[in-house]
Structure 1
Amino acid sequence: METPNSGSWSELPMDILRFLLERLSFVDIHRAKMVCRNWYLCSKQTVRKRSESPLVMLSSEDDCALFNPEEDRVYKTKRDFSGTRFLANSGNWFLALDSGSNLYIEHAFREKKRINLPPLESIKSELFSLKRVGEKEFNERRVGCFLEKGFSQMVKDLRGLLWVDEGKEEYTVAWFFVKGAEYIAFCKKGEDYYRTVPTRKGVHFMSQGISDMVLRGDFLYVYTTRRYVRLLDLSGQEGFREVTKRSFILPFLPASPQNWDEITYADRLKVSYNIAVTRSGDVLLVESILFKASRSEILPRRMFHLYKTDPNPDSDDILYGENLSFEVHSLGDEALLLDSGITVPADPTLGIEPNSIYFTRHDRVRNFVQEPSCPDICVFNLATKKLTRFPNLSCFFKPKDALWFLPS
């Protein structure tokens, strides 16, 4: 049989091509989409649409894998990810830090699709400088600081965010060091250095510090240590622009829900907060509560609550800083990927649960303790309060970290 040339592969009859695609695993389907336009269009018409459900990127000390909850199956990768740490993701793209402390962007399904980013020490700032002193350590100096030798920053304390627009083939990357958190560094496609956003010096005290961040397009949402939301526009050529809205100025001060489902205060092990941005641009505060497991349970229970700032609070509330937010009980036809801090359209036929929160860990961006939390890969339905975990996952892979993502 004559081997088809590269041009004839795109000319296969649609019924034959559909027959082949329907028998591929979900990983191979995503790879097949990239062969040519005809293969992409045919893949969208196949019955295996469930391959577009949220997936989990798993990583350990020296390996990584993809977990498909719909199939309850783990797919190992052939690529060498030893010493690699995944910081964030956007669609099929992941922001990664290799063993040499170099940042890059990696595609989940294209094995040779890697974009190297500028070195961390290439920041251009009138306030800060960064110098590499080893594979895992940098020396940070601040203008006017009395410490002549600077400040030591370790790569284990590096946190990052990523946004990729695959249609325009553009990306934005932001990162900062947890220890100190004096600035946020960012760059866009085509730039060979990082610009900085001060988080303390020259910043209003209510907007200082970082508790959590969300990157949505060129807009960076920063949840400050005083529970305010700072909105930054990173699209300019000269730097960033403060565009904080009035509704973001009010702090999130959620009151305890009236109904604790008969779980007492003493049963709570940990309460943490993250922010999220909906498709319409609303900012939500996500409260995650971890409870002690009862005698009949193996794993601890987890509960989530969503809050939104009150756009028209009473003057007395503003004066005393109380009741400035209200609880949101539904995401409607959207699902929240908390690792990215964004909502996506939900479709049960594609395996995307509406009105649900996809969760792996609360300290994705900010880590207040010495050791990061262990992954807790789960899906929480806001309407039914049902928490779905994947207990069989540990039989296939013992992850040190995990990230939910929605293939694009």
Structure 2
Amino acid sequence: MMTPKVEMIGSNKTIRNDPMLILDLVILVMERLSFVDFHRARCVSSVWYSASKSCRMRQANPWLILFPADVLHLPLESIDDSCKLFDPIDHKTYTVRDLGSDILRTSCLASYNSWFLMLDRKTRFYLLNMLTRERIHLPFLDSMESTDGSKLKFKRNFDSSFTVTTFRYNNVPLLSTCFGIDAAVLWVDERNKDYLVVWAFDRTLAYHKKGDDSWRVFRSSTNQSCVDMVFKESKLYVLVEDGSITTFDFSCGDSPMEFASFTTSPECCDFEHLAVTLSGQVLAISSEERHSYDMYKMDPKSSKWSIIKSLGDEALLLDQRITVPAKDGVLKNCLYCSYSDQFRRDDDYNLREDDNGICVVNIQTNNEVQLFNHLTASSPLPFKDARWFIPTFGGK
């Protein structure tokens, strides 16, 4: 009796003759990979890359980045020009190496997903993608003019401040003043590399977007210094000294248009930060002491601010001024913070090894539910800054 020939569905012959089966199997494998392994797998072959486009990817959870400090007493061979990345869900640490020794004296001003707005010691701005190491250089500040048409010259001081010299006619210097960068925002479309950068100094807002050949400036009608700002869907929300919030629309042509302003009520505390939720709700945040936060939202009908104790099924990344869905390990109704913004203005400040200020705080109780002191305690070299960000590759 002849034994029937049985061909296993997993045999090489079957797989070779069924390309759709190959694709389906690769998709099943890739959907179970971590964020980093998934993007590594995309580079295996054209089949794996095609499969990656059909994957139902889990949400990218917040990561931490730690920037190296400039330690003057160390010998040249001991200088570390790398950044540390930490995934708190998978408890894995990654190192981005060979960023150049200038990274030690470069300040991070803002971030959007995996892109970071950097300012080097020669007063040059650039965008840096920490996962691909791609750089986008922005125009020199020599091309900037004030709102009255005067030429401006910027020189960076030893800290993160500038000495700004105003020139009148015939390039005659009129006034030199020291200013710090009050706040900055960054937005990047990762598919086509469109971007917008806005930063504030004194009572002036400077901006640059893809396609422009220079920086442009504008001021709000309040003519006050900026405290904080956040950008969402072509709208820039600017918090100024008296606590009011002015909104600018960047979708109305070459120049932003001011179209709304909101004042604060006396019963509210002094606001220090702005944030925006997934639904577009603008939040104002105050803090009386370290890691103790009060959040407010505005009633659109009465224009009054009221305190809130819950973000629902969302979590707030204070460094990026946005909320994210609280799933796949992201803690619900929590605030992800690094440390006090005041230290970012001082290049000589280093994160403490035993208490680096990086934590996750429950918004309702103001209790620290996660601490990350081990990231600095276990490092042989100091770090000067830490930020939460959302890792992305090419819009994925």
TM range (shorter): 0.7 to 0.9
Name the SS of the counterpart of 2:377 in structure 1.
helix
Q: CA deviation at 1:307?
A: 1.0
Distance 1:11 1:223 in 2: 54
> Which consecutive unaligned segments of at least 5 residues does structure 2 have?
1-18, 70-80
Mapped contact 2:152–2:167 kept (Cα < 8 A): no
Query: Which digits, 9 at most, give the CA deviation of each residue in 1:80-131, with x for residues without a partner?
Result: 23322221111121111233321111112113x2111111222244424322
1:273 aligns with 2:281: no
Q: CA deviation at 1:392?
A: 1.4
Q: CA deviation at 1:158?
A: 6.9
Distance 1:149 1:25 in 2: 57
Name the counterpart of 1:82.
Answer: 104
Deviates more, 1:381-390 or 1:125-134: 125-134
Distance 2:342 2:391 in 1: 20
Name the counterpart of 2:325.
Answer: 345
Distance 2:95 2:146 in 1: 41
For residue 140 of structure 1, the aligned residue among 147, 165, 189 is 165
For 1:214, give the aligned amino acid: V
Distance 2:267 2:340 in 1: 17
1:393 aligns with 2:375: yes
Name the SS of the counterpart of 1:82 in structure 2.
helix
Q: How many residues align?
A: 346
TM-score norm. by structure 1 comes to 0.72
Change (3 A) 1:330 1:392: same
Name the SS of the counterpart of 1:66 in structure 2.
strand
Q: CA deviation at 1:31?
A: 5.0
* Identical-pair percentage: 32
For residue 237 of structure 2, the aligned residue among 218, 221, 232 is 221
Name the counterpart of 2:262.
Answer: 249
Mapped contact 2:271–2:284 kept (Cα < 8 A): no
Name the SS of the counterpart of 1:212 in structure 2.
strand
State how 1:111-150 maps to structure 2 within 5 Å: 111=133, 113-127=134-148, 128-132=150-154, 138-141=163-166, 148-150=173-175
For residue 240 of structure 1, the aligned residue among 256, 272, 291 is 256
1:59 aligns with 2:72: no
Distance 1:223 1:160 in 2: 12
For residue 338 of structure 2, the aligned residue among 345, 360, 363 is 360
Name the counterpart of 2:186.
Answer: 162
Name the counterpart of 2:75.
Answer: none
Distance 1:289 1:220 in 2: 26
For 2:139, give the aligned amino acid: P
Mapped contact 1:66–1:74 kept (Cα < 8 A): yes
Q: CA deviation at 1:252?
A: 4.9
For residue 297 of structure 2, the aligned residue among 308, 313, 323 is 308
Change (3 A) 1:337 1:142: farther
Q: CA deviation at 1:280?
A: 2.4
Q: Determine which structure has more spread, i.e. the larger CA radius of gyration.
A: 2
TM-score norm. by structure 2 comes to 0.74
Name the counterpart of 2:306.
Answer: 326
Distance 2:330 2:342 in 1: 22
Distance 2:315 2:232 in 1: 16
For 2:335, give the aligned amino acid: I
Name the counterpart of 1:151.
Answer: 176
Distance 1:15 1:241 in 2: 49
Name the counterpart of 2:129.
Answer: 107
Distance 1:213 1:22 in 2: 36
Aligned Cα RMSD in Å?
A: 3.7
For residue 360 of structure 2, the aligned residue among 371, 376, 379 is 379
Mapped contact 1:212–1:274 kept (Cα < 8 A): yes
Name the counterpart of 1:4.
Answer: none
For 2:374, give the aligned amino acid: N
> Which consecutive unaligned segments of at least 5 residues does structure 1 have?
1-9, 257-270, 292-301, 319-323
Query: Which digits, 9 at most, give the CA deviation of each residue in 1:195-231, with x for residues without a partner?
Result: 11125xxx336xx221111122422111010000011
Name the counterpart of 1:198.
Answer: 219
Change (3 A) 1:283 1:159: closer
Name the counterpart of 1:29.
Answer: 38
Q: CA deviation at 1:142?
A: 7.0
Q: CA deviation at 1:240?
A: 1.5
